[in-house]
Structure 1
Amino acid sequence: MSVTTPRTQAPQTASRSISGFLSARPVWLVGVLATLAGAVVTEVFALVSRAAGVPMEAAGPGAKEAAEIPVGGFFGGVVFWSVAGVVLAVALARWARRPARTFTVTTVALTALSLAGPAVAPHTATSTQIVLAASHVVAVAVIVPMLARRLAHVQR
Structure 2
Amino acid sequence: MTATANTTRATTSTVGALIRAGAVATVAASAATMAVAAVGQLAGVSLDVGGAPIPVLGFGVLTAAFSLIGLIIAALLARFARRPRRAFVRTTVVLTVLSLVPDLIADASTATKALLMLTHLVAAAIVIPAVARRLAA
Task: Supply the distance in 2 between the matched residues of 1:152 and 1:49 (Cα, whole angstroms).
Answer: 37
Task: Supply the distance in 1 between the matched residues of 2:136 and 2:114 (Cα, whole angstroms).
Answer: 32
Task: Supply the distance in 1 between the matched residues of 2:136 and 2:94 (Cα, whole angstroms).
Answer: 19
- Higher relative helix content: 2
The alpha-carbon deviation at position 71 of structure 1 amounts to: 2.2
> Structure 1 length normalisation: TM-score?
0.75
Task: Supply the distance in 2 between the matched residues of 1:136 and 1:51 (Cα, whole angstroms).
Answer: 19
- Residue 39 (structure 2) aligns with: 48
1:146 aligns with one of 117, 126, 130 = 130
Equivalent positions of 1:1-156 (< 5 A) are 25-59=16-50, 66-122=51-107, 124-152=108-136
> Structure 2 length normalisation: TM-score?
0.85
Q: Is the 8 A contact 1:27 1:93 kept in 2?
A: no
Task: Supply the distance in 2 between the matched residues of 1:51 and 1:28 (Cα, whole angstroms).
Answer: 34
Let me know the Cα RMSD of the aligned residues. Answer: 1.6
Q: Is the 8 A contact 2:15 2:75 kept in 1?
A: no
Q: Is the 8 A contact 1:46 1:135 kept in 2?
A: yes
Aligned residues: 124
Structure 1 residue runs of 5 or longer lacking an equivalent are: 1-22, 60-65
Deviations 1:25-72 (A, max 9, x none): 53122211111111111111111111111011012xxxxxx2011121
Q: Is the 8 A contact 2:78 2:136 kept in 1?
A: no
Identity over the aligned pairs, expressed in percent? 40
- SS at the partner of 1:50? helix
Deviations 1:87-129 (A, max 9, x none): 001111111111111000000001111111010002x111000
Task: Supply the distance in 2 between the matched residues of 1:150 and 1:48 (Cα, whole angstroms).
Answer: 31
Larger radius of gyration: 1
Where does structure 1 differ by over 4 angstroms across 4 or more consecutive aligned residues? none
